[in-house]
Structure 1
Amino acid sequence: MEKLLNLLALLLFVPAFVSSLDPPLNDDVLGLIAFKADLQDPEGKLVSWNEDDYSPCNWFGVKCNPRTSRVSEIVLDGFALSGRIGRGLLKLQFLRKLSLSKNNFTGSVNPSLAGLESLRIVDLSDNNLSGPIPDEFFRQCKSLRATSFARNNLSGRIPDSLCSCSTLAGVDFSSNQLSGPLPSGIWSLNGLRSLDLSDNLLGGEIPKGIKSLYNLRAINLGKNLFSGRLPDDIGGCLLLKVLDFSENSLSGSLPDSMQQLTMCNSLSLHGNSFVGVLPEWVGEMKSLQTLDLSANRFSGQVTDSIGNLRSLRVLNLSMNGFTGSLPETMISCGSLLTMDFSQNLLTGNLPAWIFGLGLQRVLLSENRLSGSIDSSYSTIMEVSHQNLQVLDLSYNALSGEIPSDIGAFSSLQFLNLSRNSFVGAIPATVGELKAIDVLDLSENRLNGSIPSEIGGAVSLKELRLEKNSLTGNIPIQIKKCSSLSSLILSQNKLTGPVPTIIANLTNLQTVDLSLNNLSGSLPKQLVNLPHLLSFNVSHNNFQGELPAGGFFNTISPSSVSGNPSLCGSVVNRSCPTVLPKPIVLNPNSSSESSGVGSFSPNLRHKKIILSISALIAIGAAAVIALGVFAVTVLNLRVRSSTSRSAAALTLSGGEDYSCSPTTDANSGKLVMFSGDPDFSVGAHALLNKDCELGRGGFGAVYRTVLQDGRPVAIKKLTVSSLVKSQDDFEREVKKLGKIRHHNLVALEGYYWTPSLQLLIYEYVSGGSLYKHLHEEPGRNSLSWHERFNIILGTAKGLAQLHQLNIIHYNLKSSNVLIDSSSEPKVGDFGLARLLPMLDRYVLSSKIQSALGYMAPEFACRTVKITEKCDVYGFGVLVLEVVTGKRPVEYMEDDVVVLCDMMRGALEEGKVEECIDGRLQGDFPVEEAIPVMKLGLICTSQVPSNRPDMGEVVNILELIRCPSEGQEDLG
């Protein structure tokens, strides 16, 4: 019986035992495959993720716990993945680390990730996530230690639930568009070691209580809108090593408690409004390696205690009001590499110890330093010879000669001694500066010649010697400086010709030789310089014909003026015709014995029939007669061509777009994107001033009417010499013709001949925003509602252009048109694409014609031009719309720049007084002031500090409807 029971038990157990041999369904595999299904993987990084695998532990980017074989880490950084972060990850119940940084994920932060109770690290930085940080994300955090959403497009406030995550040690929300104040309980996270909220739109005062973060090692609140004073108790964070509150609107003096931060090695408070003297206790912060208090309002003398900072490597006190001389105690700062005291009020001599510290960068420009750079410093410069890379002493009152041993600074890359009172000759040893990129000795009292040894500076890119008393020739040895891009020698006493070898410096972009005594003819080879943007030889003694071709076809007349013997079309002076040598015949010689042009010196009884002077007079008269005849014929041909071109603008419609069937060069080619039939433009539309609507950087605009009665605007381009080839022109115009947005002026078609290009636009009846703001003061002013809609609509139009990778370049109130419904339409966009590749200097002179709207990066050749230059122009436009003032206004004895005026008003708390008085109280202050602040943010001097236009749209809609959040973005 017992055996029977045992057998029965065995039979019952066998099925369960056998079934346990089959692999169970793996949640980790299912979750990861579901997560992958929501992704695009262009580089095939996740090809090893196979749904038929039993375990994902060998999959690329996946790590498992060796004890449980469950997924513990997913690290997919930099895989170029895109899509949304799906719910498949919720299957991974033992996941401890999720890192998806440096990809292209979109959508919002998935709040359900908080359901993963084992999750300790979440890194979603460097993606394209948008929307607010969900409050639910931090409500269920059980063991979360570190989270990073840095460098996304997140907006809204920092959720209060963050303060409930007591386990958090690291938080990084930097480089987003987060706004509002800090959560009131943020200092309760006493486990925090690192907090980075920089580069957002956070504002308000920094609350007290920060001393409770006794574990804090690093805090960065820089590049925000915080105001008020630093918390008095900040010194309670005794373990703090990195403190960065730069580029805010903080004010007041530095709290004394900061002297307790003896472990702090990096303190950055630049770009605020701190006042007072540099406290003596700063010398007690002996761990400091970086101290940046630049761009504040500190005053008084620099404290001697700064010499106690033996570990200091970077010291930046520039753009303040410090006075007196530099403290001699700084000779004890033996680790110092960078010292920047530029733009202060320092006086006294240049201390000798500066050249004995082994510094790499010395910047003392725009002070009141005097005395000479004593050549005896060579006895203590041994270390500096090897280290010094940047020396800027410009805009001071230094005098004496430039030391002859300057060439000993073998590592020097940047030397600026401009705007001082240096005398004597340029030392020949400058040729020993093999690493020098920029040499600026301009606006001194230097004399003598430019040393031929300059050719030894083979890395030289920018040479500025203008406004001195230099004599002699331009040395031909300059040909060895093959990297030279800028050569400025104007306002000296140079003589001789322009060396032909300059044409071999193919990197040249800017040349200014004006106001010298140079002579001879300009080398024809200069037309071969491929990158030339500016060439000024005005007020010299040049003669002969200007080079023809390349850059010289569009050179400004002012760049060659003041040379009476120069000729060519640019100077409106025809060159003398080169006549052959006059033929003088000997009447006594026979045709057999002497050829044409022979002359017998033995003739005594016969005279020369025609004198040389008579022949020249006859030839000149003939040339004048031919010239008059040629001009008459050309005038007739031009009139005929104009009438033929205008008459040729007649067309029948097509299916997709219409084009004229003729290929006659005189008739040109007309394309209408809408296929409108019977299109015609009379010649009067382009010649009659009554039809002209305005003129801009690209040309004049005329109004005309189609045969069906519909008006259109015709832009007649006046940059024909810069326009691309016909194929490139048509390709770009057709791209622009496909752009349709209710806040952009629609391009309806175009007309092409080699000498005439027309763009056909929809006609916007309401005129320009400029006219509404500045030219019709007597009529009804724009209401606040209309102004806000204009700002928002313009922002949406620009955002659409930037989404299509089109930079406007020329945003201004005269290029924003108002339709009959008071809706704004941005015009003149994309026209720079019709021209060849042009540098910013050509764009600024040919296209960007509106003073006050141009972003500062146009003037800096090292900063890339991006969509952010449009953002700057938009910011100026915002301030113009709200205040009713022009970007730059000229008073009787002053010039007022709108941006500067508004920043001053913001600092003084008088922003509301700047609002256009014509609104007369008919506006909500709670909207107007944030709009003006947004305009100031958009006009930040640093491009990276400006928001994108898409973010601007979001912010404006939040200002208009703060309670609706981000659900309905336009």
Structure 2
Amino acid sequence: MRAFLKMKRQLISLFALLLAATVPVFVRSLNPSLSDDVLGLIVFKVDIQDPKGKLVSWNEDDDSPCSWAGVKCSPKSNRVSELNLDGFSLSGRIGRGLLQLQYLRKLSLAKNNLTGTISPNIARVNNLRELDLSENGLSGAIPEDFFRQCGSLRVISLAKNKFSGKIPDSLSSCSTLASINLSSNRFSDSFPLGIWSMTGLRSLDVSDNSLEGEIPEGIKGMNNLRAINLGKNRFSGKVPDGIGSCLLLRSIDLSENLLSGSLPGTLGQLSLCNYLNLRKNSFSGEVPGSIGDMKSLDSLDLSANRFSGQVPSSIGNFQWLKVLNLSANGFTGSLPESMVNFANLVVLDLSQNSLEGDLPAWIFKSGLQEASLSENKPSEHINNPFSSLKGSSFEKLEFLDLSHNAFSGEIASSIGVLSSLHLLNLSRNFLIGPIPATIGELKVLDNLDLSENRLNGSIPLEIGGVISLNELKLAKNFLSGTIPSSLENCSSLSTLIVSHNRLSGLIPAAIAQLTNLQNVDLSFNNLSGNLPKQLANLPHLLSFNISHNNLQGELPAGGFFNTISPSSVSGNPSLCGSAANSSCPVVLPKPIVLNPNSSSDTTSGSLPPNLGHKRIILSISALIAIGAAAIIVVGVISITVLNLRVRSSTSRSAAALALSAGDDFSHSPTTDANSGKLVMFSGEPDFSTGAHALLNKDCELGRGGFGAVYRTVLRDGHPVAIKKLTVSSLVKSQEDFEREVKKLGKVRHSNLVALEGYYWTPSLQLLIYEFVSGGSLYKHLHEGLGGNFLSWNERFSIILGTAKSLAYLHQSNIIHYNIKSSNVLIDSTGEPKVGDFGLARLLPMLDRYVLSSKIQSALGYMAPEFACRTVKITEKCDVYGFGVLVLEVVTGKRPVEYMEDDVVVLCDMVRGALEEGRVEECVDGRLQGNFPAEEAIPVMKLGLICTSQVPSNRPDMGEVVNILELIRCPSEGQEELE
């Protein structure tokens, strides 16, 4: 028995080798009818990875595979008739082993991760009737001869793969095919004409490709066709009259193509059709009345075309209709009364037309769940949309959009019966009167928009009963009274817009309890009093506009309010704080009067009359002021003395630097107090003018938060940049300093300025960097360095190179802390090199407040968490600074620009432009007409994401690099994503 098993394994191995060499093999053993199936499946398994062990039952020692997972055998022949491995999470390639399964009738490998090209031999299995390879990662072109010998194949599905090229013309030779599904691939070029003559075809789905051509009259010969889906392609021309001859059609999807002309009247002959989707084409003219003869329709979508005229009254024949979408066309007139017959309608969208007349009562009396009639712009005001609510049943209506019309009158109190509403949009109408208190009965409502009407009265206290509310928009009305504190019950509220009203009173502290708030606009009202300090604790706040009110006092400190835009607080004369461009007055406590002659422990605000001239008045604030003044005086004297000592030691140390240039720098050359330790990480340190450069301002390149930078040259002609640290009193000990500097010296990346060495004395520390000749990014953007401006490709390369450098730093556990355009240098090839990285590691005494004022000296780059002691400083601070830098590079504007009467924050400006749909206008004017919008706009959006107020919402720099590479090469990135 063992010898037999050994021989069987050898045969299997031999079979696999021969199949790999593409030589047909027919192995004979003691039972040849069984061994072919076993061997074929085992060889198929060799090319497959099975991470979940779904094929563990496939044992090469078995005589029959009929009990294996996914295998089904014919009871008559006991041979494999079906192989169904759907959703087995298999990967790898489809090998030639399956060719041995000569009795296979059904092969289904759908919903796996199979890759590679498709073998032209799979369809040639003699008895194969059904082939399903959908939802894999198969790619490449289908060989032209794939369907040459398709035998008895009836069903083929290659949907949701990555096949490309042309659909083989040989497909039309498979006369037995009843179902073809090639959807969601990358097929292009013209559609094979022969397919339109396949009279036996019942289902054709080639949607979501890039196919071209017209639908020929020959379609009338497809008498057995039940379903056709050509959606999301580039088919053009008219829909032929011949389509009406396909009497068995039940589903037609021609959406999102380039089809044009009028609809053929023969559509009315398709009485069995229940689904017709023609959206997003260029059809024009009136909809033929014969369409009403398609009485079986339950879904009709004619949206986003150019249809005109009235909606045909025959549309009322659709008694089974559930979905009707006629939006974004040019329909005029009133809706036909026959639509009252829509007893089963669930979704109705008539928005963006020019319909007129009153809102039909049947809309509220039917079983509708979603209804949208927005943007119909009738010529004159029409009746109240809620006049017919009384006595009706609305348990199913969930979505009601009547915005941008001309509805007038009051919102009836009976609106409370719409108890299932999730969205109610009545904005941009002419509604008057108060908001009814019954609005509070809409318990599941999550979006309420009543903005841009003529509503008056107060916001009802009952609004707090709408506990599911996510968005509340009441802007541009005539509402008065206070903002109800009952809003605190709406714990899911993320958007609160009540601007341009007549609201007064205080901003309730209860709003600070709404921790999901992201966007708040209370501008252009009469609100007064102080802002609740607790607002600073809102974790997700993105915008908070309180401009043009009568608010006073100090802005909340911390969180979002540390970076709030000045434009969001303007128009409040008594409001103070940095964003309001007004300093807050110091509030002094009531002075305490000390009575030295009193035996009592009591204090009072005035002296007893019998004390005469003996009285001492010392307030706490006075004591504090005196103490602070003393500290300041001592500090000024100390700093003056230190500066004198540092200047003296700088001269001595610089001279020592020049004298010690010839020594061995792997260790300190001398312990003399006037000498220092010079270490170069590579090569011999040979300075020619080093000491002179440090003392000569003509060699100074610039100054930053850490110190001045000078250019000098080694004797071999190699230029270097030397940074003289001006924060010496905060630097670590020599041992710690050297350890940190050596770590930074090991950091090497093509987009980072290399640290080449350092110099140490107790009073002077120097960092020696490679010299980058092209100047800073700041000068290129804002000072026109060299008389030229950066092209789009140069800017994109700078953004990508900077992102790669930060990603590398973060992988090395180094936070830059000081991202700004003046710290990005441009080399002679145009590549960016980021400098000043990791220097905060040298300064253990610097807390985030010193960092924010000393290191983050450039206004606008600092992440908001620097101002909050409880938030950890992480790499996400660099991501924020990088996001600001991205917007600076694309727009050519500084992070903060001061105008005559305003301050413009770059992030706010771009974000506002994006919301208004004009973000393309933000691109640097010098690039207009010379930049790809498909790159510039996504890059700006990425910059805004990086500047999110919430650190966890910002991407990692590694993710940023991937996104930028995808923006630059979308086709390659898409292949990877899929």
Shorter-chain TM-score range: 0.5 to 0.7
1:306 pairs, out of 302, 315, 322, with 315
Deviation at 1:635, TM superposition (A): 12
1:253 and 2:253 are equivalent in the alignment: no
Deviation at 1:295, TM superposition (A): 0.7
Provide the rounded CA distance (Å) in 2 between the counterparts of 1:422 and 1:749.
67
Do the aligned residues in 1 keep the contact of 2:515 with 2:538 (CA within 8 Å)?
A: yes
Provide the rounded CA distance (Å) in 1 between the counterparts of 2:168 and 2:340.
49
Provide the rounded CA distance (Å) in 1 between the counterparts of 2:684 and 2:156.
62
1:125 and 2:144 are equivalent in the alignment: no
Describe how 1:264-279 pairs up with structure 2 within 5 A. 264-279=273-288
Match of 2:300 in 1: 291
| SS of 1:311 mapped into structure 2 | coil
1:952 and 2:971 are equivalent in the alignment: yes
Structure 2, unaligned stretches of length 5 or more? Answer: 1-27, 658-679, 703-708, 724-739, 757-766, 812-824, 834-860, 864-872, 893-905, 939-965
Q: Deviation per CA, 1:264-319, whole angstroms, max 9, x where unpaired? A: 11111111111111221111111111111111111111111111121211111111
Match of 2:424 in 1: 415
Match of 2:375 in 1: 366
| AA partner of residue 252 (structure 1) | G
Do the aligned residues in 2 keep the contact of 1:747 with 1:762 (CA within 8 Å)?
A: no
Residues 851 and 193 of structure 1, relative CA distance in 2, 3 Å threshold: farther
Deviation at 1:527, TM superposition (A): 2.8
Match of 2:389 in 1: 378
1:228 and 2:261 are equivalent in the alignment: no
Do the aligned residues in 2 keep the contact of 1:585 with 1:599 (CA within 8 Å)?
A: no
Do the aligned residues in 1 keep the contact of 2:751 with 2:831 (CA within 8 Å)?
A: no
| AA partner of residue 382 (structure 2) | G
Match of 1:552 in 2: 561
| SS of 2:389 mapped into structure 1 | helix
Match of 1:68 in 2: 77
Deviation at 1:873, TM superposition (A): 11
Do the aligned residues in 1 keep the contact of 2:211 with 2:235 (CA within 8 Å)?
A: yes
Describe how 1:29-44 pairs up with structure 2 within 5 A. 29-44=38-53
TM-score, scaled to structure 2: 0.67
| SS of 1:137 mapped into structure 2 | helix
| AA partner of residue 271 (structure 2) | T
Deviation at 1:20, TM superposition (A): 9.7
Deviation at 1:464, TM superposition (A): 0.9
Deviation at 1:355, TM superposition (A): 1.3
| AA partner of residue 546 (structure 1) | L
Do the aligned residues in 2 keep the contact of 1:585 with 1:608 (CA within 8 Å)?
A: no
Provide the rounded CA distance (Å) in 2 between the counterparts of 1:635 and 1:323.
81
Match of 2:210 in 1: 201
1:462 and 2:471 are equivalent in the alignment: yes
Deviation at 1:136, TM superposition (A): 2.5
Deviation at 1:400, TM superposition (A): 0.6
| AA partner of residue 162 (structure 1) | L
| AA partner of residue 501 (structure 1) | A
Q: Deviation per CA, 1:136-171, whole angstroms, max 9, x where unpaired? A: 321120111111111112211111111111111111
Residues 886 and 144 of structure 1, relative CA distance in 2, 3 Å threshold: closer
2:248 pairs, out of 236, 239, 256, with 239
Match of 1:134 in 2: 143
Deviation at 1:565, TM superposition (A): 2.7
1:590 and 2:609 are equivalent in the alignment: no
| AA partner of residue 520 (structure 1) | G
**Alignment: residue pair count:** 778
Do the aligned residues in 1 keep the contact of 2:699 with 2:711 (CA within 8 Å)?
A: no
Provide the rounded CA distance (Å) in 2 between the counterparts of 1:598 and 1:510.
47
Deviation at 1:954, TM superposition (A): 10
| SS of 2:243 mapped into structure 1 | helix
Describe how 1:821-860 pairs up with structure 2 within 5 A. none
Match of 1:156 in 2: 165
Structure of higher CA gyration radius: 2
Provide the rounded CA distance (Å) in 2 between the counterparts of 1:846 and 1:97.
58
Deviation at 1:793, TM superposition (A): 15
| AA partner of residue 270 (structure 2) | L
| AA partner of residue 952 (structure 1) | S
Provide the rounded CA distance (Å) in 2 between the counterparts of 1:190 and 1:155.
26
1:440 and 2:459 are equivalent in the alignment: no
Do the aligned residues in 2 keep the contact of 1:182 with 1:206 (CA within 8 Å)?
A: no
Deviation at 1:343, TM superposition (A): 0.8
Provide the rounded CA distance (Å) in 2 between the counterparts of 1:606 and 1:54.
121
Q: CA RMSD in A?
A: 5.9
| AA partner of residue 176 (structure 1) | N
Residues 954 and 421 of structure 1, relative CA distance in 2, 3 Å threshold: closer
| SS of 1:502 mapped into structure 2 | helix
2:361 pairs, out of 352, 357, 361, with 352
Q: Deviation per CA, 1:433-459, whole angstroms, max 9, x where unpaired? A: 111110111111111111111111111
Residues 520 and 796 of structure 1, relative CA distance in 2, 3 Å threshold: closer
Do the aligned residues in 2 keep the contact of 1:64 with 1:72 (CA within 8 Å)?
A: yes
Do the aligned residues in 2 keep the contact of 1:543 with 1:567 (CA within 8 Å)?
A: yes
Deviation at 1:555, TM superposition (A): 2.3
Match of 1:342 in 2: 351
Match of 1:320 in 2: 329
Q: Deviation per CA, 1:556-601, whole angstroms, max 9, x where unpaired? A: 2222222233333333433332323224455xx6154566657444
Residues 355 and 167 of structure 1, relative CA distance in 2, 3 Å threshold: same
Deviation at 1:605, TM superposition (A): 8.8
Match of 2:181 in 1: 172
Provide the rounded CA distance (Å) in 2 between the counterparts of 1:367 and 1:797.
49
| SS of 1:365 mapped into structure 2 | coil
| SS of 1:34 mapped into structure 2 | helix
Residues 540 and 347 of structure 1, relative CA distance in 2, 3 Å threshold: same
Residues 750 and 478 of structure 1, relative CA distance in 2, 3 Å threshold: farther
Describe how 1:389-428 pairs up with structure 2 within 5 A. 389-428=398-437
| SS of 1:490 mapped into structure 2 | coil
Describe how 1:563-602 pairs up with structure 2 within 5 A. 563-584=572-593, 590-592=597-599, 599-601=606-608
Match of 2:530 in 1: 521
Match of 2:520 in 1: 511
Residues 78 and 606 of structure 1, relative CA distance in 2, 3 Å threshold: same
| AA partner of residue 420 (structure 2) | S
| SS of 2:170 mapped into structure 1 | helix
| SS of 2:388 mapped into structure 1 | helix
| AA partner of residue 187 (structure 1) | W
Provide the rounded CA distance (Å) in 1 between the counterparts of 2:686 and 2:346.
70
Residues 749 and 365 of structure 1, relative CA distance in 2, 3 Å threshold: farther
Provide the rounded CA distance (Å) in 1 between the counterparts of 2:440 and 2:391.
22
Residues 622 and 220 of structure 1, relative CA distance in 2, 3 Å threshold: farther
Provide the rounded CA distance (Å) in 2 between the counterparts of 1:188 and 1:499.
72
Provide the rounded CA distance (Å) in 2 between the counterparts of 1:27 and 1:703.
80
Deviation at 1:184, TM superposition (A): 2.3
Provide the rounded CA distance (Å) in 1 between the counterparts of 2:446 and 2:160.
34
| AA partner of residue 269 (structure 2) | Q
Taking every aligned residue pair, what percent have the same amino acid on both sides?
53
Deviation at 1:123, TM superposition (A): 1.2
Provide the rounded CA distance (Å) in 1 between the counterparts of 2:572 and 2:402.
36
Do the aligned residues in 2 keep the contact of 1:796 with 1:953 (CA within 8 Å)?
A: no
Deviation at 1:791, TM superposition (A): 12
Do the aligned residues in 2 keep the contact of 1:493 with 1:517 (CA within 8 Å)?
A: yes
| SS of 1:349 mapped into structure 2 | coil
Provide the rounded CA distance (Å) in 1 between the counterparts of 2:485 and 2:598.
53
| SS of 1:387 mapped into structure 2 | coil
Provide the rounded CA distance (Å) in 2 between the counterparts of 1:796 and 1:227.
44
Do the aligned residues in 2 keep the contact of 1:533 with 1:842 (CA within 8 Å)?
A: no
Describe how 1:466-481 pairs up with structure 2 within 5 A. 466-481=475-490
Q: Deviation per CA, 1:595-648, whole angstroms, max 9, x where unpaired? A: 6657444x1794797999xx89989997997999899999999999xx99xx99
| SS of 1:519 mapped into structure 2 | strand
TM-score, scaled to structure 1: 0.67
| SS of 1:378 mapped into structure 2 | coil
Do the aligned residues in 1 keep the contact of 2:801 with 2:831 (CA within 8 Å)?
A: no
Provide the rounded CA distance (Å) in 2 between the counterparts of 1:506 and 1:212.
64
